[in-house]
Amino acid sequence: MTRIFSGVKPTGHLTLGNYLGAIRRWADEDQHRAESLFCVVDLHALTMEHDPARVRRLSRQAASLMLAAGLDPQGCTVFVQSHVDEHARLSYLLECVATDGEMRRMIQYKEKVVRAQSAGQSVRLSLLTYPALMAADILAYGADEVPVGEDQAQHVELTRDLAERFNLRYGRTFVVPRVTLPTVAARVMDLQDPTGKMGKSHDSTAGIIYLLDEPAVITKKVTRAVTDSASGVEYEPSERPGVANLLEILSSCTGKEPRTLAEDYDSYGALKRDTAEAVVELLRPLQTRHAELSADPGYVDGVLKDGAARARALARPTVDAAYRAIGLLPPT
């Protein structure tokens, strides 16, 4: 059976980008067709300056949002990365297979170095080695597919390279995974800066729709979205990124093609109104379910505990095999 692994990093409140690019597909499709693991990758939240209490709070919130989005703990495994030691154990071996040069070529590393430096922060070494840990997340479980948004595709490509290199040098140990991207909304853009992705840890929040935003806030953010001064509504992502972004969001909510939707509108006002309404309706059941789950933290803790036990049992044999293959003496 196909195996799927994916994860979300608790560095901020989850956004519409996280939902449309990844989580919705996990819930609506992936968990029903494959043996799936979905992880709150909390170790990854320590690569930039962080507040310990906030990471803890956001980890729990991310887990309940994943469940609220429809992940069914009977049908898939939901867990927290730091509860399973195998991730960190395997990450070190992959650091011994990766090169300094390939880590430095990662776009997210380059972007985040600039962000850390402009905030006067030092760059943590873990920011550089992050993709080795991400590769470990995936390879420890023998995942065939990794459903992510477009911004993570480069990291999954690197994971493939590391898996192939390890297998070639030390004998076949890892499944070589492939990335799967959504057909629309693979890269939801910031509503205020449609040339940049909607990211959960950006400083300015006016262009970011959070999954727990109130309906009135969502409507205000969509209504104020930056478009352009051209008249008429057309789907031209490179020339008119703001309008294209709204059309993609609406498309992702309605299932209609962005280009077909564009034909239905002759003003930005109507497009924004319908997009806001569609997003509010899309998120309504998730928000209701999240409120219920928040009132029952014991349930979420139980899911995470069971999930970690299942994940550990799956990862252990592969990581042990990698330790043997690379030349480490097994304990007696």
CB of 197 to ligand TYM, least distance (A): 4
The single residue among 66, 158, 184, 198 that binds ligand TYM, judged by CB under 6 A, is 198
Separation CA 75–CA 71 (nearest Å): 8
For position 181 contacting ligand TYM by CB under 6 A, the verdict is: no
From the CB of residue 287, how many other CB atoms can be counted at a distance below 10 Å? 16
Measure the CA angle with vertex 46, ends 44 and 52; round to 5°: 125
CB of 316 to ligand TYM, least distance (A): 18
Given the rule CB under 6 A, which of 14-22, 166-174, 240-248, 282-290 is the region that contacts ligand TYM?
Answer: 14-22
| Of 211 and 276, CB closest to ligand TYM | 211
For position 21 contacting ligand TYM by CB under 6 A, the verdict is: yes
Nearest to 201 by CA among 61, 18, 27: 18
For position 44 contacting ligand TYM by CB under 6 A, the verdict is: yes
Q: Which residues of 157-194 are buried (b: 16+ CB within 10 A; e: fewer)?
A: ebbbebbeebeeebeebbbebebbbbebbbbbbbbbbb
Given the rule CB under 6 A, which of 6-14, 52-60, 97-105, 249-257 is the region that contacts ligand TYM?
Answer: 6-14
Q: How many CA atoms lie within 13 A of 245 on its CB side?
A: 27
Separation CA 112–CA 121 (nearest Å): 11
Amino acid at 85: D
CB of 51 to ligand TYM, least distance (A): 17
Query: Alpha-carbon dihedral of residues 285, 288, 292, 297, nearest 10 degrees?
Result: 80
CB of 198 to ligand TYM, least distance (A): 4
β-strands 35-40, 77-80 pairing: parallel
The single residue among 4, 18, 308, 319 that binds ligand TYM, judged by CB under 6 A, is 18
The single residue among 24, 25, 60, 187 that binds ligand TYM, judged by CB under 6 A, is 187
Residue 126 burial (10 A CB sphere; 0-12, 13-18, 19+): middle
| Of 63 and 134, CB closest to ligand TYM | 134
Radius of gyration of the chain measured on its C-alpha atoms? 20
For position 8 contacting ligand TYM by CB under 6 A, the verdict is: yes
For position 247 contacting ligand TYM by CB under 6 A, the verdict is: no
95: tokens are: 């650091």
Residue whose beta carbon is closest to ligand TYM = 21
CB of 327 to ligand TYM, least distance (A): 26
Size of the site for ligand TYM (CB under 6 A): 26
| Of 18 and 267, CB closest to ligand TYM | 18
| Of 175 and 299, CB closest to ligand TYM | 175
Residue 196 burial (10 A CB sphere; 0-12, 13-18, 19+): middle
Instruction: Give catalytic residues, as residue numbers.
Output: 112, 197, 200
**Segment 102 to 161, residues that bind ligand TYM, using CB under 6 A:** 134, 137-138, 146, 148-149, 151-152, 155
Q: How many CA atoms lie within 13 A of 309 on its CB side?
A: 6
CA distances from 301 to 6, 45, 74, 304 (A): 20, 20, 15, 5
Binding mask 24-43 for ligand TYM (x = CB under 6 A): -----------------x--
Q: In the complex, which residues of this chain contact ligand TYM (CB under 6 A)?
A: 5-9, 17-18, 21-22, 41, 44, 134, 137-138, 146, 148-149, 151-152, 155, 186-188, 197-199
